[in-house]
Amino acid sequence: MARKDLLDIISLSREEIEHLLDQSIPFKELFTRSVKKVPALKGKSVLTLFYEPSTRTHSSFEVAAKRLSADVTNFDVAQSSITKGESVRETVETLQAMRTDYIIVRHSRSGLPSMIARQTKASVINAGDGSHAHPTQALLDAFTIKEKFPDPTGKRVLIIGDILHSRVARSTSTILKKIGVDVAFLGPGSLVPMTGPEGIRRFTDYKEAMAWKPDFVYLLRVQMERQDAQFFPSLREYHRLYGITDARLADIRDRGLYLMHPGPVNRGVELCDAVMDYERSLINDQVENGIAVRMAVLYWLKPGNGAE
Amino acid sequence: MGSNAAAILAFLILTNTFMKRTLTAEDIAAGVERLAVAIREKNPDQPIALVGIRSRGDEVAERVLTLLSSEDRELSFGVLDISLYRDDFEHLRENPSIQESQISFPVEGAHIILVDDVLFTGRTIRAALDALSDYGRPAKVELAVLIDRGHREMPIQPDYVGIVLDTCRLDHVLVSLEGTDGMDQIQVVEKEKP
């Protein structure tokens, strides 16, 4: 059954997740053709509403929508009436009057996309809200892992970094658990919440985490813009304790681990420069898969399916 | 009466339908043979590519390919999923699931024969032509169908036909093929007018 909105991972069933991941495969196949575009959403309008800066997610959604032949409008928040004091609600009413079919929204406030979803007939896709959820990132991460292990049951993913503020950690760990992957967190004690979902191991020491024998290491971006309080002494110390240094990269290569990162990378903080040439880095796969997964999401959602 | 027959009877009663005609595995084999002979006669020794349309068109194409493969000629095979090229998304509650297309030969300059199980309105073929052109510009595209049941809604005609079936517009033509459905059978089922 199709849904109107995609707001988080937690409300998706395992079947819905598997369906979306399966459907992403034929969309990725399109990228190898001479014409990468299909007419499925011809005449539909997609509007992007990004209240927070984003380059990758924003352009990924834009490419995905355009490859489905939808018309894309970027609601330029910085230059819009929002800076003149228009509320989100008024903005959404305006968009409703424009008969937009899909709204892709990112906001620093958790829960804002679901508020918008209740007010509009358009399909709303959450492209990241505060530290709550980032469902399409989670789907592309799961897809990337399944490309390496079609049956990922029992595979292990170690997520490293600022778990506390990270919507990526929240959504990605949720989806991985739903498809049978084991997840562990590693980070400074101040950034790894002790409460939270059951069945996730928590480490504060890199060596201990490696002894858990992960198959993937997933580095989170240190979110400079969210460090309003001091959670760790300095970026240099963070790199020394939790970053992938040259020595750790050699260890990861020996163990044959895959490496993932949602981007953009803070070089010299989460990752040393040499990681960019690591043969088992999946960072570029994640970017490519992001487009396929977002096409599958846009194709799956049905706008105006009654009230949520 | 076996439970299977009872189930079919129940289906017919529930859906207000009754069977007009049933074609057997032999009829289907003869239809496939007819396609292969006609393709062979019209295109002696030329390289051709058979592209089956999901679902079941791919299976028909495979069977024709098997009959042609004894000859000394260049044969290519592909499968096309046309879901993303349909013209009725507005009317669907749920978009159809899509599967991978497999076109591994260069479409540019190729002589392609599109293969489908049933030709009805012609809308599927319209979608298939659009899909195919996004892989490149073929030198020539022809159409082979196992069954032509008439009632076109588009200016599309087949070049090769296995079986011609005389049907009413509202009839259902139910095709079962071994590889997809476990048995070879074609049924024409009439829907009673309300």
State residue A78's pLDDT score: 65
Integer Cα distance of B115 and B62 in angstroms = 9
In a domain, B159, yes or no: yes
Choose the weakest-confidence range: A20-29, A54-63, B22-31, B183-192.
Answer: B183-192
pLDDT tens sequence across B118-175? 999 999 999 999 999 999 999 999 999 999 999 999 999 999 999 999 999 999 999 9
H or E stretch including A137? helix A135-148
- Answer whether B78's CB lies under 8 Å from B49's CB: yes
Interface of B with A (CB under 8 A): 81, 83-86, 89, 93-95, 97-101, 130-131, 133-136
Residue B131 lies in a domain: yes
Instruction: Write out B51-99 in H/E/C secondary structure.
Output: EEECCCHHHHHHHHHHHHCCCCCCEEEEEECCHHHCCCHHHCCCCCCCC
Inter-axis angle of helices A135-148 and A167-178, to 10 degrees? 50
Minimal Cβ distance to B89: which of A23, A33, A40: A40
Q: What is the pLDDT of residue B17?
A: 58
Is residue B36 a part of any domain in this protein?
yes
Q: Is the residue at B9 inside a domain?
A: no
**Digit-coded pLDDT (tens) for B32-52:** 999 999 999 999 888 999 999
More confident residue, A264 or B15: A264
- Provide the 10 A C-beta neighbour count for residue A286: 22
Structure tokens at B66: 């098997």
Residue A306, pLDDT score: 45
Placement of tokens 């849904």 in the chain: A3
Task: Compute the 3-state secondary structure of chain B and give helix, strand, coil in percent, each to the nearest 5.
Answer: 30, 30, 40
Rounded Cα distance between B17 and A186, Å, is: 63
pTM: 0.89
Q: How confident is the model at residue B16 (pLDDT cuts 50, 70, 90)?
A: low
Residue B99: closest CA among chain A residues belongs to which residue? A26
| Owning domain of residue B123 | 25-167
Instruction: Please tell me which of the candidates B83, B85, B135 has its beta carbon nearest to residue A33.
Output: B135
- Whether B6 is covered by a domain: the verdict is no
- Please tell me whether residue B142 adopts helix, strand or coil conformation: strand
Q: Could you tell me how many helices (H) and strands (E) chain B has, helices first? A: 5, 8
Burial class (CB in 10 A: 0-12, 13-18, 19+), B191: middle
A246 vs B8, which has greater pLDDT? A246
Query: Which domains are present in chain A?
Result: 14-134+290-300 (3.40.50.1370), 135-287 (3.40.50.1370)
At A203, list the tokens: 């480490």
pLDDT digits (tens), chain A, 308 positions? 789 999 999 999 999 999 999 999 999 999 988 899 999 999 999 999 998 888 899 999 999 999 999 999 998 776 666 666 667 888 888 888 888 999 999 998 999 999 999 999 999 999 999 999 999 999 999 999 999 999 999 999 999 999 988 999 999 999 999 999 999 999 998 889 877 677 899 999 999 999 999 999 999 998 876 665 677 888 888 899 999 999 999 999 999 999 999 988 988 899 999 998 999 999 999 999 999 999 999 999 999 854 33
Instruction: Determine the pLDDT at residue A4.
Output: 95
Cβ atoms of A280 and A259 within 8 Å: the answer is yes
Least CA distance to B89: which residue of chain A? A40
CA–CA distance from A242 to each of A210, A217, A222, A245, A268 (Å)? 12, 11, 11, 9, 11
Asked whether residue B4 is domain-assigned, the answer is no
Chain A 101-160, residues with CB within 8 Å of chain B CB atoms: none
Nearest-angstrom CA–CA distance, B150 and B119: 7
The predicted pLDDT at position B102 comes to: 93
Say if A2 is an interface residue toward chain B (CB within 8 Å): yes
pLDDT at A82: 62
Q: CATH number for the domain including B151?
A: 3.40.50.2020
Q: Is residue B10 part of a domain?
A: no
Report in angstroms the alpha-carbon separations of A298 from A13, A291, B75: 18, 11, 37
* Number of domains making up chain B: 1
Domain membership flag for residue B68? yes
* Res B181 pLDDT > 80: yes
CB atoms within 10 A of CB A224: 9
Q: Do A40 and B100 touch (CB under 8 A)?
A: no
Query: By C-alpha distance, which of A161, A163, A104, A95 is closest to A128?
Result: A104
